[in-house]
Structure 1
């Protein structure tokens, strides 16, 4: 059974926050797709690519539809989905950037593109911690 918000869900601030969150997730997916396409072009042109670049390049844009679904459920008032999107938007940028900063894991151009996709998700972490969201989603 889903726990739904009762206070301010549906007001202009929460609607705007979820709209912005969905745009950020779409941007995250688009940058991820650009990254994967760049890996493909680099491989086709004879440049070195690694399995890490291919696998991670495919996984991150594939997460975008999942995150959009979670954001939709949160916008519908499901506390569990709201909590999940809040946690993921906080942890994912740190994890992406942390792995990319390990020397030798990936080339600089790849790290920059992945970093841009991570930065696209970061505003969601702030949006989900506003007073309007805290009011709309009181802890069960």
Structure 2
């Protein structure tokens, strides 16, 4: 059985490493990494804000606690997907592309439902997901679209 490099690449769902070693792809992956780090820091700061508000004796509902605790964990998932994407994993690239569009829309959409959370919390969550939207744009740029061409 022939086990050429092309066959191995096909079996492992990875892209050609040379396609990722271009200035555009490196810049897009760097932007992705930086924005996910900023998102993780902002999500952690939002969790600390909820803790501070609760410690000050103000009302914090279970939705706010749950969301504030889960969002930093999502940063870890995004980071892992970004690392796999940087190694050439097409499935990770596709998942990251999907998540970075759906995730911010879901966060902001739920926060806009009247009575779910206070305005300050909705504003804080919106600020947190802005770096994720930047990742969505970077992943849709020509450099990474070229590095992960669509399969026939």
Q: Same fold (TM over 0.5)?
A: yes
Please state if 1:20 is matched with 2:31: yes
The correspondence of residues 1-140 of structure 1 with structure 2, limited to 5 A, is 1-6=11-16, 8-140=19-151
CA distance in 2, matches of 1:43, 1:124: 32
CA RMSD of aligned residues (A): 1.1
SS of 1:4's equivalent in the other structure is coil
Residue ranges of structure 1 left out of the alignment (5+ in a row): none
The runs of at least 4 consecutive aligned structure 1 residues that moved more than 6 Å come to: none
Kept in 1, the 8 Å contact 2:28–2:143? The answer is: no
What secondary structure is seen at the aligned counterpart in 2 of 1:8? helix
CA distance in 1, matches of 2:62, 2:12: 39
Distance (whole Å) between structure 2 residues aligned to residue 32 and residue 2 of structure 1: 33
TM-score, normalised via structure 1 length: 0.96
Shift of 1:124: 1.1
Aligned length: 140
Gaps of 5+ in 2: 1-10
Q: Secondary structure at the match of 2:57?
A: coil
Check conservation: 1:2, 1:80, Cα contact below 8 A.
no
Give the structure-2-normalised TM-score: 0.88
Counterpart CA distance in 2 for 1:18 and 1:113 is 26
For the 8 Å contact 1:8–1:135, the answer to whether it is kept is yes
